[in-house]
Amino acid sequence: NPFGYLLSNPEPTVTAGVVSGLDRNIIPSGRDESGYYLDMIQTDASINPGNSGGPLVNARGDVVGVNSSILSRTGGSEGLGFAIPVDRARRV
């Protein structure tokens, strides 16, 4: 919840998950999107509007990526999550 987008709950939340792949290339599915997302981190942690843009951290609390998108068959928060690697995010 990086920007204080609190869904009627003032408490911060944490979603646990596992990094299940590195260097993944994905094609955006949105109607107004084009191109590719390259070298993404794949995770099974839920990514939804409240935590997109927030940090993906390892067990030590080190930021390893920025949560950015999800590939979901249902359109919900269940599916494959993707994060931008932190070294690329720092350059922006």
Delineate the domains of the chain, giving CATH numbers in brackets. Answer: 19-91 (2.40.10.10)
Q: 44-76 pLDDT, tens per residue?
A: 988 876 677 889 999 999 999 999 888 877 777
Encode pLDDT of 32-46 as tens digits: 666 788 899 999 988
pLDDT-derived band of residue 9, with 50, 70 and 90 as boundaries? low
Question: CB of 19 within 8 A of CB of 42?
Answer: yes
pLDDT category of residue 6 using cuts at 50, 70 and 90 = low
Q: Which two tokens stand for residue 58?
A: 């390892």
Return the sign of the alpha-carbon dihedral for residues 48, 79, 86, 19.
positive
The per-residue pLDDT of the chain, averaged, comes to: 81
